[in-house]
Amino acid sequence: MDTPVISDIVVRPSTEIDVPAMVAIYSHHVRNGLGTFDPEPLHDEDIKRRRKNMMKRRLPHLVAERSGMIVGYAYAVPFRKRPAYRHAVKHSIYVHPDHLRSGVGRLLLPALIEACTAEGFRQMIGYVDAENQPSQQLHEAFGFHQAGLLQGVGYKFGRWTDTLLMQRALGEGGATPPVEPPADENYSRAT
């Protein structure tokens, strides 16, 4: 993957050293926003384990770094576990609270799209809270459309929340059959 450098932000694959910074960013959003519905902040070991599982399946896990500091991260996981869904991913993106609206998401999301496309995935799906205007606008800016609205499926901060499904095709999308990954046990996309 090319490493895009625009202004002072670099987007690159994450390493294990980045884990505590990612945990700190995630914890903030668990406590304060509708960007995630995990009930509790995660621990370093949780993200380390998730990261390793994703790497085994060649699923991208990226960070944005600004002057040596991790200011955001984004990753993709299988859309669903059953093998027939193996060419679709769902993704997440989180930006450091002190660096919101400063162009980090605008770099991370296209880098993730590019990395997922390069791995041969054909569809990308984001679950976005219906009140999460920043995320909706970011996704629309990068070609995602609203594929559905799930009403009352979340409960956070004492109220029910709606979830938008935001989707975009990658590469040739559904226009051509997929290229199957090598039949290598370590490269199984299905879990």
Ligand X SMILES: CC(C)(COP(=O)(O)OP(=O)(O)OC[C@H]1O[C@@H](n2cnc3c(N)ncnc32)[C@H](O)[C@@H]1OP(=O)(O)O)[C@@H](O)C(=O)NCCC(=O)NCCS
Judged by the rule CB under 6 A, the positions of this chain that interact with ligand X are: 29, 33, 35, 92-95, 100-106, 126, 128, 132-135, 137-138, 141
> How far is CA 160 from its chain centroid?
23
Rounded Cα gap, residues 133 and 130, in angstroms: 7
Is the Cβ of residue 57 or residue 163 nearer to ligand X in the bound state? 163
If the CB atoms of residues 80 and 120 are measured against ligand X, the closer one turns out to be: 80
Q: In one letter, which amino acid is 49?
A: R
State how far Cα 165 lies from the chain centre.
13
Smallest separation (angstroms) from ligand X to the CB of 97: 8
Q: Which of 53, 69, 58 is nearest to 17 (CA)?
A: 69
Q: How far is the CB of 138 from ligand X (least distance, A)?
A: 3
Smaller CB distance to ligand X: residue 51 or 96? 96
Q: How far is the CB of 14 from ligand X (least distance, A)?
A: 16
DSSP state of 4: -
User: Could you give the CA distance from residue 126 to residue 147 in angstroms, rounded to a whole number?
Assistant: 10
- Rounded distance, CA 44 to CA 9, Å? 24
DSSP H helices, the chain, are 19-32, 44-56, 104-118, 133-141
What is the smallest separation between the CB atom of 5 and ligand X, expressed in angstroms?
Answer: 16
Q: Least distance from C-beta 64 to ligand X, angstroms?
A: 8
Pick between residue 6 and residue 190 the one whose CB is nearest to ligand X: 6
| For ligand X, the closer CB: 16 or 38 | 38
